Chain A
């Protein structure tokens, strides 16, 4: 089965706190891509990162960082020093090779609320 699980439905933090959004995936493919997208209240999905299955290096981009661990099939996303503008729904998604990389399988999303 191809599946993405985001167990945290909603997270609420106070500004400047660090927060980690969990993502666990299932796939039989050895080649696949993983993504994180941000959906602010306006509705538009904003691409944050793509990671292929052969690259387990962690990535940092400003206040954002991602931890990819194939051993646990996880691709977690950490926001450091959160800000109110980070409030949004965050989706983790899987694109398996067997789907021709065309099929994006989304998790249920995690709604992050950052309070001043």
Chain B
């Protein structure tokens, strides 16, 4: 099946620093990747849709200047949380559609736990 990886799996940082999270599709190409945020015991909320070679599409209420997304290639998207604050602490999960196969199924990465002190 389609495999998506994320790095790092866990990060602790000080308030005010920036954190970069990478999302890679390992065995398929993905023109579209998605970034979700999940607070404890809550559901996943879509933050943005990342398109290779173009600007990301952000969901309502998500600050594009705070959550920078770059989709540099068909296998890599990055999310940078700029000037992170404690309220940004969350579980960030990426997903990707398989370009070659059916577009309708999203495969998820293992997630990144961010803790901002």
Contact = CB atoms under 8 A, between A and B. Distances in A.
A102 B108 contact: no
Nearest to B113: A43
Interface stretch (B17-25, B68-76, B78-86, B98-106): B98-106
Most B C-beta atoms less than 10 A away, residue of A45, A47, A106, A108:
A45
B8 interface: no
A78 to B, nearest CB: 21
Given A42-B110, A43-B113, A108-B43, A35 B105 contact: yes
Interface size class on chain B is: 20 to 34
Contacts, number: 50
A101 B104 contact: yes
Contacts of A109: 43
Contacts of A33: 104-105
Interface in B84-117: 91, 93, 95, 97, 102-111, 113
A48 B97 CA distance: 15
Interface in A40-72: 42-47, 50, 52
Main SS class of interface, B: strand
Interface residues of A, number: 21
Contacts of A108: 42-43
A46 B2 CA distance: 11
B105 A107 contact: no
A33 B106 CA distance: 11
B49 interface: yes
B105 A45 contact: no
Given A45-B108, A102-B97, 10 more contacts: A37-B108, A43-B93, A50-B104, A91-B43, A102-B34, A102-B49, A104-B44, A106-B43, A106-B44, A109-B43
Interface of B: 1, 32, 34, 42-46, 49, 91, 93, 95, 97, 102-111, 113
